[in-house]
């Protein structure tokens, strides 16, 4: 029956719609395949202090698709989040990062590095989350004081007490928390003080416009002051120019991440940056 169907009047014979649907289904089955056949890789982007010394890295997921080449997370994380796969892939990410931390802990020049790992709100809210994380910690024996978990403000929109309880349980193990993309979400100053956070990460959209836009400069400046008064560390992400870094330094922000200091690269490349070859 090539006629519109159901109360939404959807017609399933529109060729462009059908193509989009097939592409979506294909991508989803490719993602399952990626998980089964290890097409994931973690890249690491340097985080530096005001001397330019690398103090840590952020782990960023890459997908080596057999036909399409490298696919960026913006294109597939939302798909992973639309089904249960985010829990398995997120566990793989954490485990790989923790093994990396444990390996670096053996090396005198790398043993102080921190690794920040992005955690999807859906993954964090899952009732198996803490059990999965404990499994990863037991298997990897990573130094947990050097692990930071990056969460976003959307995590605290609903079930805030549950999120807070889980954070407290992980803090008791030494793990630290960073609030990613700060300023882009449902910021409520009231909850910030109640959460066991360690760091605010100023979103790159503000940082990149800091010299061009008065409004963005004001947002960045008050975030730095807020972090200071709540006793939180602050890091700026998306720093691309020396002028942006100079502005940040002049406004008392001493930690940076961005293309100015290095793009996301392999763990081996991070080691070469720090120890040389």
Residues in the site for Mg ion, rule: CB under 5 A? Answer: 118, 150, 180-181
Q: How far is the CB of 108 from ligand C2E (least distance, A)?
A: 28
Instruction: Tell me which H or E stretch contains 259.
Output: none
Stretch that binds ligand C2E, among 99-107, 160-168, 182-190, 233-241 (CB under 6 A): 233-241
What does the block give as tokens for 176?
């630290």
Among 247, 258, 267, 271, binds ligand C2E (CB under 6 A): 258
- Give, rounded to a whole angstrom, the gap between the first and last alpha carbons of the chain: 67
Q: Are 69 and 41 in contact (CB under 8 A)?
A: no
Cβ neighbours of 74 (radius 10 Å) = 7
Of 180, 199, 235, 244, the one binding ligand C2E (CB under 6 A) is: 180
238 binds, among ligand C2E, Mg ion, none (CB under 5 to 8 A by kind): ligand C2E
238 binds ligand C2E (CB under 6 A): yes
Among 47, 100, 114, 120, binds ligand C2E (CB under 6 A): 120
Nearest-approach distance from CB 22 to ligand C2E, in angstroms: 25
What is the rounded distance in angstroms from the CA atom of residue 130 to the CA atom of residue 149? Answer: 13
Please classify residue 38 by burial: count the beta carbons closer than 10 Å to its beta carbon, then call 0-12 exposed, 13-18 middle and 19+ buried: exposed
Residue 47, burial from CB neighbour count under 10 angstroms (0-12, 13-18, 19+):
buried
262 binds, among Mg ion, ligand C2E, none (CB under 5 to 8 A by kind): none
The least distance separating ligand C2E from the CB of residue 47, rounded to whole angstroms, comes to 10
- 118 or 199: CB nearest ligand C2E: 118
How far is the C-alpha of 55 from the C-alpha of 184, rounded, in Å? 26
* β-bridge mates for residue 20, sequence order: none
The piece of 13-21, 68-76, 100-108, 183-191 that touches ligand C2E (CB under 6 A) is: 68-76
Smallest distance, Å, CB 276 to ligand C2E? 23
What DSSP assignment string belongs to 208-228? Answer: TTTTT-HHHHHHHHHHHHHHH
13 binds ligand C2E (CB under 6 A): no
Residue 30 vs 48, nearer CB to Mg ion: 48
Among 46, 56, 183, 264, binds ligand C2E (CB under 6 A): 264
Closest distance between ligand C2E and the C-beta of residue 152, in Å?
7
- Rounded to 10 degrees, the C-alpha dihedral 251/254/256/262 comes to 120
Q: Specify the long-range contacts of residues 22-30, CB closer than 8 Å, at least 24 apart.
A: 24/79, 27/76, 27/79, 28/79, 28/83, 30/65
Enumerate binding residues for ligand C2E (CB under 6 A).
45, 60-61, 72-74, 77, 90, 93, 118, 120, 150, 180-181, 204, 237-240, 257-259, 264
């Amino acid at each position: 029956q090539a006629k519109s169907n159901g109360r939404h009047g959807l017609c399933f014979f529109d060729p462009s719609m059908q193509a989009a649907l097939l592409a979506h289904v294909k991508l989803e089955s490719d993602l399952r395949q990626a998980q089964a056949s290890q097409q994931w890789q973690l890249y690491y982007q340097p985080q530096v202090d005001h001397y330019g010394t690398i103090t840590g890295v952020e782990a960023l997921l890459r997908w080596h698709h057999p036909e399409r080449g490298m696919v960026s997370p913006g294109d597939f994380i939302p798909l992973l989040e639309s089904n249960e796969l985010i829990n398995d892939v997120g566990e793989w990410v954490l485990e790989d990062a923790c093994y990396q931390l444990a390996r670096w802990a053996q090396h005198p020049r790398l043993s102080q590095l921190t690794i920040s790992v992005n955690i999807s709100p859906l993954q964090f809210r899952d009732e198996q989350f803490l059990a999965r994380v404990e499994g990863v910690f037991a298997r990897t024996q990573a130094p947990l004081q050097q692990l930071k978990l990056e969460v976003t403000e959307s995590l605290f929109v609903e079930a805030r007490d549950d999120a807070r309880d889980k954070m407290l349980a992980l803090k008791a193990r030494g793990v630290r928390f960073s609030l990613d993309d700060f300023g882009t979400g449902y910021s409520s100053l009231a909850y910030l003080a109640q959460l066991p956070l360690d760091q605010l990460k100023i979103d790159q959209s503000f940082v990149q416009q800091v010299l061009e836009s008065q409004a963005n400069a004001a947002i960045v400046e008050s975030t730095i002051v807020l972090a200071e008064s709540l006793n939180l560390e602050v890091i700026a992400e998306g720093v691309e120019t020396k002028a942006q870094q100079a502005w940040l330094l002049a406004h008392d922000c001493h930690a940076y991440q961005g293309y100015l200091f290095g793009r996301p690269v392999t763990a081996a490349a991070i080691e070469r940056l720090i120890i040389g070859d």
